Amino acid sequence: MNSLVTYQVQDSLALIGLARPPVNALGQPLRAALLQACEQADADPSVRAIVIYGTNGLFCAGADITEFGSPASFAAPDLPGLLVRLTAIDKPLVAAIGKLALGGGLELALACGYRIGEPKTRVGLPEINLGLLPGAGGTQRLPRLVGVQAALEMMISGAPMAANRALELGILDRLADSAEQLLQSACGYAHELIANHAPARPSEPFADPAKGLPADFFERYCLEQEPRWKSRLAPRLVFSAVQAACLLPLQQGLERELALFKQAEASRQSEALRHVFFAEREAGKIPGIDPSTALRPIAKVAVIGAGTMGGGIAMNFANAGIPVVLLERQGDALDRGLAHIRKTYAISLKRGKLTEAQLEQRMSLLSGTLEYADLADADLVIEAVFEQLSIKQEVFRQLDSVCKPGAILATNTSSLDVDQIAAVTARPQDVIGLHFFSPANVMRLLEVVKARETSAQVLATTLKMGRTIGKIPVVSGVCFGFIGNRMLEPYAREAHRLVLEGATPAQVDGVLTGLDLNMGVFSMLDLAGIDVNFLVRDANRAAIAHDDSYCRLGDELYSLGRYGQKTARGFYQYEGRERHNDYEVVALSERLAGELHVSRRPIEDAEIHARCLFMLINEGIQLLDEGIALRAGDIDLVWINGYGFPAHLGGPMFYAQQYGLDKVLAGIQHYRDTLGEYGRMWFTPAPLLERLVAAGKTTIERL
């Protein structure tokens, strides 16, 4: 047997161990080895049952994602065919599922007649997150095992399921007492099956999955769910495959599933989502930093400022079981902050996402203080005070005097120069930016800002810490706005300018949400607060733009007290949660256009798309060229996880690649040449974009 699979015959059992670290992805070589092992076990008359397990404790994370989009993904033996072959073996197969059975891994387990897990086992069909559907029998076998509703829920959510729930549903037949005992228990189970003359496959609880389903089940399901799917293809294909499971016999259902899977695999959306999967994993690897760099322990955290941001940041650590002390200047502000955190947890409790005991346990990890001296033993301090350089510098002077040597000192600034903050301390190597996004306990993006002197160890430690608290940390260099907000600037600039030129906020937002962005520019500003946006802009006009006339609309709304949702008026009018267009904003735009000598005209949606998106992309490419962003994929992660860019478009950089870099460049040049002085001022192609196109490159990389 080759080294990808171990094979042993013991006491009438063939033990087949999957041995392809780290996750036993079912690439062609492993598929071939597994098939060979199963054939051998089938042919050996001394073997009466087969146990398949993961030799390193983990069962299998599914098909090999690196193969998708290449001939390797269906190179013989292909996974669907291999699993059909397994189901034809007339001996009981037991899947011993340690840790994980995901995607094709769970489908492998479903092809076995029997499944045993351990208390920490998680099973799931997360293909949808890759723009795919289960393609090796999952959409046909799972509904027959657990019923259509539970199966659909599992595939549409893509979420992994805990062992107990999988046991309840019948995805697992048994649980071993511990991971250590899993293989032994699996063998015991196999012996029982032999002793009881159990069939190779037990009968399916939902052999006819359509039976008992309400006649309008699929219609209602679609009505309820489709709006959430926006233009995503994969949920629709999952849905079709499950419908097929109800209409067709297994064999034909499997054929239908395969056709749908191939459609999904070839789609641009799946290509984009696979890019995002690997970008997330790449983001943690920093060139020049040895992965074996010793990390500093983070056992206690301090957060300065118990406002919405500080409180949200603190919750991340409490959620991960790390004690946090919150520092405020006034006792009442501290009390308010802690009470707000409790209230937020109480909402999760009400929604069933947290138990009472978990709530109390998390609150017990949070404490408050008014004294800097109480931060002396913190391993990591995150400052979340008012966004003003002098205030933040004062905080860092204090931290420098009280914190223990080796403590990591982080600022949650969204725009200030981290080098200038680090410079007021005697330990700039320990200073870093940690830009959380609001609400900080929910949003997954964490921009990790590496300042000039931040040490490799501090950077590596904070990246690891970011993952520990469930964030997607992305490294940015120091510049105004870092990666995300710097790109927001030209994108929002075009949106504002287009309104001056004749578009309405609703038209601009409609084009952007039509692309599946979570929100358009103007709804986002209304939500974030036009006042907040104005104050940041006003304090940084020099850093933002040499001509800020396009901001006049926002400035005027600010001066009118129209701060957005909080005042029920901003770019739109609000009645409760309902948003309406506001003719006054149109009138204001007309007046400002007159004052600024901007001629108004009807604006096509295509122009909105091109100007907003191309300027966003152009800035991203420029950030890469400047070395502020390390990789195009990092930029994509920032915009997907911090700004609601749809993952199925892969992020703005990947979108540009799929769109065509030459077309993006041509678009920028077109507006440079047709928008007069404004065009010449703003539509300057990033030199890297020009170089890439000149070199005939289709992917965005440093050149």
The binding site for ligand 3H9 (CB under 6 A) comprises: 22-23, 25, 61-66, 79-80, 100, 102-104, 107, 126-127, 130, 132, 134-136, 138, 261, 281
- Decide whether 30 or 512 has the Cβ nearer to ligand 3H9: 30
- C-beta of 228: minimal distance to ligand 3H9 in Å? 20
- C-beta of 554: minimal distance to ligand 3H9 in Å? 41
Which amino acid, residue 559? S
8 A C-beta contact, residue 164 and residue 172: no
Nearest alpha-carbon partner for 446 in 484, 409, 408, 478: 484
Q: What is the torsion angle, in degrees rounded to the nearest 10, for the CA atoms of residue 651, residue 654, residue 658 and residue 659?
A: 70
Nearest alpha-carbon partner for 471 in 642, 678, 217: 642
- Decide whether 79 or 664 has the Cβ nearer to ligand 3H9: 79
What values do phi and psi take at 281, rounded to 5?
-75, -35
**DSSP letters for 210-233:** TTT--TTHHHHHHHHHHHHHTT-S
How far, in Å, CA of 365 to CA of 358, rounded?
A: 11
- C-beta of 582: minimal distance to ligand 3H9 in Å? 45
- Decide whether 64 or 400 has the Cβ nearer to ligand 3H9: 64
Residue 463, Cα to own-chain centre: how many angstroms?
16
Sheet containing strand 122-124, strands side by side: 100-102, 122-124, 161-162
SS3 readout for 112-175: CCEEEECCCCEEECHHHHHCCCCCCCHHHHHHHHHCHHHHHHHHHHCCCEEHHHHHHHCCCCEE
Residue whose CB is nearest to ligand 3H9 in the complex, by number: 103
Which DSSP category does 365 fall into?
T
- Per the annotation, the verdict on 107 as an active-site residue is yes
- C-beta of 189: minimal distance to ligand 3H9 in Å? 25
Q: Which of 107, 280, 447, 494 is catalytic?
A: 107
Kindly state the tokens that stand for 479.
Answer: 């510049």
8 A C-beta contact, residue 456 and residue 450: no
- C-beta of 78: minimal distance to ligand 3H9 in Å? 7
Cis bond before residue 22 (omega within 30° of 0): yes
Buried/exposed code over 38-76 (b: 16+ C-beta within 10 A; e: otherwise): bebbbeeeebbbbbbbbbbebbbbbbbbebbeeeebbee
- Decide whether 134 or 209 has the Cβ nearer to ligand 3H9: 134
Dihedral sign computed on CA atoms, order 542, 548, 551, 557: positive
- Decide whether 17 or 135 has the Cβ nearer to ligand 3H9: 135
Element (DSSP H or E) covering residue 579: strand 578-580
- C-beta of 21: minimal distance to ligand 3H9 in Å? 9
- Decide whether 87 or 348 has the Cβ nearer to ligand 3H9: 87
- C-beta of 473: minimal distance to ligand 3H9 in Å? 13
- C-beta of 178: minimal distance to ligand 3H9 in Å? 20
Distances in Å between the Cα of 454 and the Cα atoms of 192, 448, 510 are 60, 11, 42
Q: Which of 127, 328, 383, 607 is catalytic?
A: 127
- Decide whether 99 or 562 has the Cβ nearer to ligand 3H9: 99
How far, in Å, CA of 271 to CA of 287, rounded?
A: 25
8 A C-beta contact, residue 93 and residue 111: yes
Distances in Å between the Cα of 239 and the Cα atoms of 155, 256, 312, 469, 655 are 9, 12, 37, 33, 26
- Decide whether 138 or 428 has the Cβ nearer to ligand 3H9: 138
Kindly state the tokens that stand for 148.
Answer: 């259509």
How far, in Å, CA of 566 to CA of 574, rounded?
A: 9
- Decide whether 102 or 409 has the Cβ nearer to ligand 3H9: 102
Kindly state the tokens that stand for 680.
Answer: 């010449």
How far, in Å, CA of 354 to CA of 114, rounded?
A: 33
What values do phi and psi take at 696, rounded to 5?
75, 20
What values do phi and psi take at 170, rounded to 5?
95, 10
- Decide whether 140 or 393 has the Cβ nearer to ligand 3H9: 140
- C-beta of 380: minimal distance to ligand 3H9 in Å? 22
- Decide whether 100 or 629 has the Cβ nearer to ligand 3H9: 100
E strand spans, 316-357: 324-327
- C-beta of 227: minimal distance to ligand 3H9 in Å? 25
- C-beta of 257: minimal distance to ligand 3H9 in Å? 9
**DSSP letters for 42-69:** HH-TT--EEEEEETTS--B--B-GGGTT
8 A C-beta contact, residue 474 and residue 445: yes
- C-beta of 26: minimal distance to ligand 3H9 in Å? 7
- Decide whether 4 or 25 has the Cβ nearer to ligand 3H9: 25
Kindly state the tokens that stand for 4.
Answer: 């990808």
Which amino acid, residue 551? C
The residues that are catalytic are 107, 127
